[in-house]
Structure 1
Amino acid sequence: MPVTLSMIRVAVQQCGLSGKALCVHSSLRSFGHIEGGARTLLEGLLAEGCTVMAPSFSLRTFSAPPPDSAYPARNGWSEEELSLPPTSQIYRPDTTAIDLDMGALPAVMVRERRRVRGWHPLNSFVAIGPLAEQLIAPQKPLAVYAPFKELCGLDGAILLMGVRLTSMTFLHYAEQQAGRTLFRRWANDEHGKPQMVEIGSCSTGFEAFAPLLAPFRTTCTVGESLWQVFPARATLEVASEAIRRNPSITACADPTCVRCRDAIPGGPMLDAQKSGESTG
């Protein structure tokens, strides 16, 4: 049986999400078949008064090499990032550029005239709904997760549609709140000059948070898609405290992962770079 707009609305009501600000991570395939695709999913949420926010990352289009070989130590660099060529691409919030792996819902959202998109060239968020401006306006290149602070203040929630905790970008905000310095990358500013920006770390190990978040998780099934709902404030408190107690909780299973290797001890050593010490 295909999933319809009315089924989406009923699920939102059953989960107690009507009128709320939501950070949504979704897999359209998880529904089986949904009439009208991602647009039906979006309109069903909006029809219930929700403000819908989603990651709309664009690293593949706007990533640039750092100026003057400024490579901070312990910064989770991949070989690909260390060899990035110069680019003339300049990000602006009105762009529709988005990485293909962001999924169908964010791809639809960035093409909507009514949407608000953050001022972050690599890890922007996009939102539609009555609280969109409040959620997105604080995002800046060195305030990548400011929308999550707003989400907590609005008593919002994270909604996973057919995806696992490994897709929950919000847990990177918990890493930051636990005391980690976020990784730094570069992209051109509005004048075409490289600027430093914040990004998150590896999320492949985030399923380790499942037992800790289970007490306040609510679920429902829409078509073939399992929805998991997590209140933002409670998730932040529990996850950040877990990271403080056991920094290795975020580690993925790959012993060669440079992002996990560098994030767990605290992230990039920016003070050393500023003082002129060697950054390796």
Structure 2
Amino acid sequence: MAELRAMDIHSGDVVLVHASLRRLGRVVDGVGTVLASLREVIGPEGTLVVPTFTSSNSDTSRVHANRTRGMTPSDLLEYRACLPPFDAETTPSIECGLLTERVRSQPGAVRSRHPQTSFAALGPAARLLMSDHDPADHLGESSPLAKLYMKKAQVLLLGVAYESCTAFHLAEYRYSPSPPRTVYGCMIETHSGPRWWQYEDVVLDDRDFGECGLEMEGSVPVVKGRVGDADSRCFSLVEAVDFAESWLRRNRLNVGASISSYDGIR
């Protein structure tokens, strides 16, 4: 708790957390202690938010590609038919780390209902932040990220690099009037049963987020410190998104970067 407070986390804050428990090192009671400490520091008026992405529920993700590599066409059809549809109440979020799954499964937790890029939250602002996540909008203006922006949330990176900074994705929707788009596919539940659903959305490309984050440190206040054994950073989500929007405009548009075929967080 003392180390978290030294990262400029305060009572009443809304905090989007990305964490690597492995890099935190040995913690008595592990993820339980980490979650309890975060909640104690932000207090009963604060709200904790984590990503609970489910990229395995996809036919366009790297996870799907790895799991289906070498399958015959008939094997692939069978795999796709048996893939369970996303369920906000039960689908685990272990792809994003143990903390996200612990938050998701807590009594009182609220999860947004995007079938691939959901978030979960605990605290008085949880229901507001998680509501109305458009299933055709991964991380844009109809996602929890836009609401976190309006709430002036903090971003806390515990032992993870800027490549994991989900907030930068909101800037991908804003840096250009017409950012690159692609078609996504996933399994959803309908009144007539599970089915594959396809939709178009902005291409999500985190390959340059590390560079963006390091340059951001020269313009945006970033608190650096250690929590456990983990090098950690804390900064304003609003300032990070605004910086990334400008940075992407300079570095993706001005250099003519083409990312339309990137197989990223899909």
TM tier, smaller: 0.7 to 0.9
Alpha-carbon offset, residue 184 of structure 1: 3.1
Alignment partner of 1:90 is 2:85: yes
Give, in angstroms, the shift of residue 183 of structure 1.
3.9
Counting only pairs closer than 5 Å after superposition, residues 46-61 of structure 1 correspond to structure 2 as 46-47=39-40, 48-49=42-43, 50-60=46-56
Q: 1:149 aligned to 2:146?
A: yes
Indicate the RMSD between aligned Cα atoms, in angstroms.
3.1
* Pairing 1:63–2:58 present: yes
Opposite residue 150 of structure 2, the aligned amino acid is G
Go from structure 1 to structure 2 and tell me whether the alpha carbon gap of 1:193 and 1:14 turns closer, same or farther (over 3 Å shift): closer
Q: Which amino acid aligns with 1:232?
A: L
Counterpart of 1:207 in structure 2 is 210
2 CA distance for matches of 1:94 and 1:79? 26
Partner secondary structure for residue 106 of structure 2: coil
Contact 1:96 1:110 in 2 (8 A): no
State the Cα distance separating 1:133 from its structure 2 match: 0.9
Residue 45 of structure 1 is aligned with which of 13, 26, 38?
Answer: 38
Which of 105, 116, 127 is the matching residue for 1:122?
Answer: 116
Tell me the SS of whatever aligns to 2:170. Answer: helix
Deviations 1:169-216, CA, capped at 9 Å, x for gaps? 111111111122454311233312332354752323311111224431
Contact 1:21 1:51 in 2 (8 A): yes
C-alpha deviation, 1:229, in angstroms: 0.8
2:18 counterpart residue number: 25
* Aligned ranges 1:97-112 → 2 under 5 Å: 97-98=92-93, 100-112=94-106
1:113 partner letter: P
Any stretches of 5+ residues in structure 1 without a counterpart?
1-7, 66-74, 252-258, 265-280
Give the distance between the partners of 2:155 and 2:254, measured in 1 at CA: 20
The TM-score, its normalising length taken from structure 1, stands at: 0.74
Deviations 1:200-255 (A, max 9, x none): 5232331111122443111222221222012011111111011112207999xxxx
Preserved CA contact (<8 Å) 1:206 1:250? no
- Structure 1 pair 233/226, CA: closer, same or farther in 2 (3 Å)? same
* 2:236 alignment partner in structure 1: 231
Q: Which runs of 5+ in 2 are unaligned?
A: none
Distance 2:203 2:120 in 1: 17
3-state SS of paired residue (1:92) = coil
Choose from 229, 252, 260 the match for 1:262.
Answer: 260
Distance in 1 between residues matched to 2:163 and 2:24, nearest whole Å: 19
Name the amino acid aligned to 1:152: Y
- Separation (CA, whole Å) in 2 of partners of 1:182 and 1:132: 29
* Of 101-110 and 83-92, the range deviating more from structure 2: 83-92
Q: Compute the TM-score of the two structures, normalised by the length of structure 2.
A: 0.78
Q: Any idea what the Cα deviations from partners look like across 1:73-114, whole Å, max 9, x if unmatched?
A: xx99x966898643352222111322x431110121222222
Contact 2:52–2:117 (8 Å) recurs in 1: yes
Counterpart residue number, 1:195:
197
- Rate the CA distance shift 1:91–1:199 in 2: closer, same or farther, 3 A: farther
1:131 is aligned, of 121, 125, 136, to 125
Give SS of 2:33's match.
helix
CA distance in 2, matches of 1:13, 1:163: 18
**Local SS of the residue matching 1:190:** strand
Q: How far off is 1:260 after superposition?
A: 6.5
C-alpha distance after superposition, 1:113-162 (max 9, x if no partner): 22111111111111111111111113121122211111111110111001
